[in-house]
Structure 1
C-alpha cells in the first residue's frame, strides 16, 4: 500500500515505546522511519546526534504525511540523554559483539514491550546508524537486544525497514484481526437454509434430466454434491447465480424436448 492514509488519526494510542535513532545519517531515512512508525502505531521519535543536524526538510518529503512525528521529534547529544527518563531500553542488533544480554526476536521484544507499557512504564528501542549499526557502548545502555530471525545469508535491512519490522510486531501483538476472513462485499455467506433450497432445486432438475437415473448410485451422487457445496463458504450471490444456471439448463432441456416433439 502506498500513499497517505488520511482515514487513521496520526496520534499516540496509549503508552507506546520511543523509537531512538542513534546518529542517523540521512534525513530521507528519518522521514521513512516516521512513516514506518505511524504504520505500526509508534509515535515518539528521538534523534541522537543526527549527522546533518535537525530539522531537515528532506525528511518531511519522505514521511508521506507522518509530519507530526517529525515535528515532535527531540534531539539528544548522546544515548544517555535520550534514555534518561525511560525505565526499559531495548537495542536492535544484527550482530551481537561479545555482549552478554538477553536476545529477543522482534515478536518476543514486542510482547515484552506490550507488558512493560501496560504497567505504565516507559520503554525505548535503539536503532543504530545506517552504515555500521549500534556500537558496544550503545548496546551497554540496553536491558536486552532484539535480533530479527532473517535469512542468515542476507539479513541486511535499511533503517526504515528495521523500524517497520518492530512497528509491525508491536501492532499485531495487540491486534485482534482474524488471520483469515472472506470478503463478501454486498452479499453474505449463505445460510444452511439457503444452501438446502438450492440443493433441492439442483436435485429436482438432475432427476428430471435423468442424471440421477442410476438408483443404486443416486444417494452417493447426491452426497457428493452436498459435500462439494458444503466444503466452502458459498455466498448468497453465488447461489443466486447457480440457481439461474440450473434454471436455464432446465429450460434449454425442455425447449429441446418440445422441438423434438414438434419435429
Structure 2
C-alpha cells in the first residue's frame, strides 16, 4: 500500500485560501496527489501558494480538469464526502469503514465546493459516500478541515498495514476509465433507441445508471463483456 495511490479531488473550490490549506493538510500526512476540477479562482495564484506555506510542491504538481468525468479516468475507487445522507442506492460509509477499502487500488476522496457541496449528479460517479461524524445540529465543516480529518485517518490505516485481501491476483478490477467507456457506450445506444423518455427525466436516469455500474465493482473482463453486449445490441437495432 502506498500514499501515492490516494488522490484528493477538490470539485469547483471557491476560495484560494481553502485550496492552499488543503495542500498543506495533504502534505502534513505525506499525500501529494491533488486534483482540482473547475476552480472558481485562477489556479494556481499567489494567495493559494501563500496559504499552502510549505506545500507549494503539492500545488505545483497538482492536476486540473474542466469536469469531474475527465478527472476520474485513472481512478479505481471514488469516495465522496458529504454532510448529507443521500436517498440513493449507494453505499454510505463511516470513517471506520475505510479500513475495508483496498488502498492497493487508486483511490480518490472527492470534496464538493464550499457553498453547495456535491450534487446528486456528482455523487452518481462515486462508489461510496462518506460522512464525518459531527454535531448533528452543526454538521458543516470547512473544506480543509474535512480533508485533514480524512487524510489523517487514511494515513493511519496505511501505516497500520493490517489490511489483508484474499482476492485472486488473476482478477483485475475494472478501472474508472474502463467503466466510464462502458457506460458511455451503453448510454449512446440507449440514446439511439430513444430510451430516455420523457427528456426531462434523462439526467436522473443517467444518475441511476451510473450508480448501478459503479456499485457493481466489476472486473476488467466483466466490463469488456458488457461493452461487447452493448456494442452488439447497437448493431442489431
TM-score range normalised by the length of the shorter chain: 0.5 to 0.7
Distance in 1 between the 2:92 and 2:157 partners? 18
Q: Which residue of structure 2 aligns with residue 89 of structure 1? A: 78
CA distance in 2, matches of 1:128, 1:57: 23
After superposing the two structures, state which structure 1 stretch, 148-157 or 138-147, moved more. Answer: 148-157
- With a CA cutoff of 8 Å and minimum separation of 6, indicate the structure with the bigger relative contact order: 2
Aligned length in residues: 159
Q: Match for residue 42 of structure 1?
A: 31
Q: Which runs of 5+ in 2 are unaligned?
A: 161-237
Instruction: Tell me the SS of whatever aligns to 2:19.
Output: helix
Residue equivalent to 1:117: 103
1:144 is aligned to 128
Q: Does 1:51 align with 2:40?
A: yes
Q: Which residue of 1 aligns with 2:64?
A: 75
> SS of 1:175's equivalent?
helix
1:20 maps to what in 2? 9
Residue by residue, what CA displacement relative to the aligned partner does 1:56-83 show, whole Å, maximum 9, x if unpaired? 1101111120111000111101110011
Matches of 1:147 and 1:26 in 2, distance apart?
Answer: 22
**8 Å CA contact retained: 2:4, 2:32:** no
C-alpha change, 1:107 and 1:43, in structure 2 (3 Å) is farther
- Across the aligned residues of Structure 1 and Structure 2, the Cα RMSD in angstroms comes to 1.4
Rg larger in structure:
1
Cα offset for 1:103? 1.0
Normalised by the size of structure 1, how large is the TM-score?
0.58
Q: TM-score, normalised by structure 2?
A: 0.64
Deviates more, 1:38-47 or 1:126-135: 38-47
Give runs of ≥4 in structure 1 deviating > 4 Å.
none
Q: Shift in Å at residue 14 of structure 1?
A: 4.4
Distance, in Å, in 1 between the alignment partners of 2:111 and 2:87 is: 18
SS of alignment partner, residue 66 of structure 1: helix
Match of 1:163 among 136, 140, 147: 147
Asked whether the 8 Å contact 2:4–2:31 carries over to 1, the reply is: no
